[in-house]
Every structure is written in structure tokens, then in C-alpha cells.
Structure 1
Amino acid sequence: MLYSELTVRTNRQSAELVAYFLEEVCLPDGVSIYDINDLYDNPSWDYMDDVAERPYDKEVLVKGYCNTEDTDSVLDFLRQKFATLEGAGSLDITVGTVDGEAWVATWQATFKPIETEKIVICPEWQTVTTDKKVLLLDTGVAFGTGQHETTSMCLEYAEQLDLGGKRVLDVGCGSGILGLSALLLGAEHAELVDIDQQAVDIARHNAEINGLDGKATIEQGNLTEKTSGTFDVVFANLTADILAGLFEDIVSVVHDGTVVILSGIIDFKADYVKEMYGRLFTVVDERAKGEWCALELVLRRH
């Protein structure tokens, strides 16, 4: 399967914002920033081969990937967003194609086990020796591995919660990493929902290889439309704008005392999300990694 590779030229000051726009419409965990200054500023290198510079350019490059059939709509979205930016470099966009299987094979070679406080996330094709709980993961085209700051913050929250016997909802589940981790941490049942059928297929596969398919319901749909009842814990690792649009949907699946973990929030939109959710939820905790923020909310009792 072929994918479109989009490369945007920008400057260092605007790279994170450009990456945020690509995160909105490109494959999850597939957006990367190539800033040659990061090479020159690395104090641990006393020699750098010319080969190391090849992926870079005089401008900062931001790369993202999307399904080929989505390319035109993705480009339209990006051009609309870029029209609002000033002093952000040329913002030239080039489009190429990459072979999905070759891309995944290259990416798999770099995906190593990730250890958190209570869980080791291990690629399905590798083995690991540990006393901790192990979540085997096949992410397909990188639908969430735990490497991204937004996912790792959600995992930190999950490990701090008492999930024993709880019903959990994972909204926009991707690989299923959050919902399945919640089951490993003691949740009684998890419902996982994603609008992308490929992500749903991957999440179902991951549930099966971990022996969790009997405790997980995984459906393709428009986020909360496929869920039933209310939940004790809700994970939504998306983007600030999508979270804002989902406010009413999330409210419809919670009850007094429900804990909601929101992530994928770019730092300059954190107040926007807090203001919206603050109508009904109390912010219990807030944390940040890099330019990303995550929130722990509790529905106020009425």
C-alpha cells in the first residue's frame, strides 16, 4: 500500500505549530521535525559524518504521512491553516509517495520495548524478560506506540489510577495501547473506538495477541457513537480542537465521579480546553512534556 509523504518547509520558531497542523490530519505518531540545528547543537557529538545531514535542509522540514486518497483534502486543510501564519518561512509543501510495507519495516527496526512504571510495551516481533506486565503491540502504520509524549502522559495517569473493576472508554484508540493497558492494570472491561477501520483492525489484533479480546469491545465509528452506557474512566488522546468538538459526546458517557484523561493538547490551546471542560469537570492534575499538555479531570457531583 502506498502512502503520501508531505514535507513542509518552515523555520525553527514555527516548526511545532506546523507539526501540530499535520498531526490534525496525518497518520498518528507519524509527524517528524527535521531541524539541522539539532545536529549542530548536540554536545555529545565531536564528529559528524556528512551522511547525518542528508535528511535535512536549510529550512526546518516537517514531515507527515497520509493515505493517498486523502492527499487532496489534507493539502486543502494545511493551506487554509498556513494562510493564517506570518513569519513562518516559505511553507512550501512537497508531496511524495512511500511504500507502506517498506516504511513499516524500516520503522519496526527502530521500535524497541518501552518500560513504564508498571508495564513494558513490547513489539509483537520481539521478546522481553521482566517482572512487569507486558503489553505486546503491533502498531501497523504507527497508530500509537507509547513513544509520543501525549501517549506516555496518558500511560502515566493510567498507572496512577485505581482501575480495578472499572469500565474504561478509549476514544480514538489507534493501536489500542491505552484501553488495553487499562485492562492489564485491572480494569474489568474496555470499549475502544476509532473512526479509522485500519486502526480498529490493529487494535483487535493487539487485544487478541494479549489474551484481552474477551474483555475488550473494539468498534469502528465516529468516536462515541458506538459506545453504550457510561464509564468510570475515559481516555481521549486526540487534539485540542477534536476534544472541544467532542465535549457533548464525552459528557454523554460519564457519570458522577468519572475520571477523564485528555491528551494531545498543544500548549497554547490548553486554556481553551480547560475552559470548555471546566463547565462540568474539575481539573485534578495537569502535566506537560515538550509542547504537549495532558489533563486529569473529574466530573463534578451534582
Structure 2
Amino acid sequence: MAQRELHQVIAGILLPTPVVATAPAPVAEPVRDQTGLHILLAEDNLVNQKVARRLLEQLGHRCEVVSNGREALERWRAACWDLLLIDLQMPEMDGETAIRLLREETPALGRQHQPAMAMTAHAMQGDRERCLAMGFDGYIAKPVSLEALREAIARVGAAEDSGLEEEKGLPDEAHLLKQCADDPELVEELLGLFAAGLNAAAAALNHAIDANDRETWRRAAHKLRGEAATLGFQRLAGVLQRLESQAASPDQSVPGDLRDALAEATTGCHRWLHRRSQEVPRAP
């Protein structure tokens, strides 16, 4: 099944008219203060190591430093950590490889989901989505500041702690299976297509919003909303419904909390899809 067919399949086979349940408007996760965390920092630059470690200690955290992804994996296997901070570009093993291996090993080691945040020297549009797709829970751009580090850590922590609340806006697998005529292969196919296209769809929507292209913005929000609602990603669908309405509004700007809510809801989808991929047994 081609990627472009996902919307037609969902709209025509599962639910011809996806309905988004009425719920309070989603907002970005609140930033909260966290202290006393046990943090593993993977950073190869000595100056950056010292700066980041000092900032973390000022925030009341305990920090251990390693110089590459291989060492980070070794320390992660040997101890329990509240948070990993991993630079994307390091010798021997980069951050992307390290987080991929860590996520692959997590179920076999019987470990819970490990909160991990990427650090990148090049803050560019789409970095957040790329880091989430790699398996990170968030990212922070370098050079880091005390306040940026505080807020980034708090947001990752708030996202982890909000897991039960977040589940309210995520798929019920029994219901989804029923919607797919009790065909588990169709469930896997549709979720796979949704996962593969989510980042590109969100990026296209953000691009249309930035360009103030109202019609493209409306169509992009409507299409992704239908897919999200039908598959059970109601939190994301609710945000997209607000964005679709905003496209028709004379107001020329999108509230910052709405853009944040889109990013947070997308994060929740990625986290659920990743967790499910680790839990669902695959045929040999």
C-alpha cells in the first residue's frame, strides 16, 4: 500500500466520517521544576562537558560524564538513570546510533522506558521531529543555558509523568482491531503507514502555517486529523481540529501554545508507537 493511499483507506474503509470527541482544548505540557536527578551526560568536547556538568549541578542534579555513545551504552546497562543527555555528533559511536541500540535493548533487559534528550549544535527547523523519530524524548540546542536546560529537563520529566493522562488521547487497541474487521495485519499496516508519514505531515502543516498559506494549512490539518482520529490518536486530532479552525480565522497568527500543543501531541504519538513496536511480538 502506497503512503498516499493511507488517507483514502482510512476514510473509505474504517470510518467514512471521523469524529473527534469533544474535549477541553489541549495545551502544552506545563514546565515544572525538578531537582536531584541522576543524569548521564554523553559529550565528547571537554569544554562542553565542564559547562553542562556545572549547569546541571547548579540545578541540583547529579551528573556523570562519558565521551561517546559506546561509553553511554555501557554506563546505561550498568546503572539506573533518571535522564540521559546525549550529543548527536561524537566519535566511536554517535548519539543516533546509541539511542537506537538503547531502545532495541530495553525490552530484553527488562528495563522501563529510559528518558533521553538529544543535544545538537545546529538548531534547525525540524530538529525536534527528527530527534523524536530517532527515539529521543526531546532535544536541546547548544550552547546550553541554565534556563533552557532547566525547561528542557522539566518538559521531558512532565511528559514521562503524564503517561496515564496521555493514554486517554491514544488508541485503544481492542477498538482499533474491531474497526479493522479483526484483521491484525491491517492494524499493523495502517499504524506503520501513519508512523512513516507523521513527521512529514506535521512538517508540511508547520510550513504552510509559517507561509500563511491558509488553504494548504486547512487541507493539511484536515487530512492528518482524519487519519489521527480514525486510528485513535484523539489528542493529536483535537489539536489539528483547532488548527483547521484557525486556518479560517481572520487572526493572522497561531497562538504559541497551539504550536507547542501540536509538537507535544506528535511526541505522544511517537512515544506510543515506539513503545508498541517494542511490546508487540513480531512473526518470525
* Structure in which a larger fraction of residues adopt helix: 2
TM range (shorter): under 0.3
Give TM-score scaled by structure 2 length. Answer: 0.27
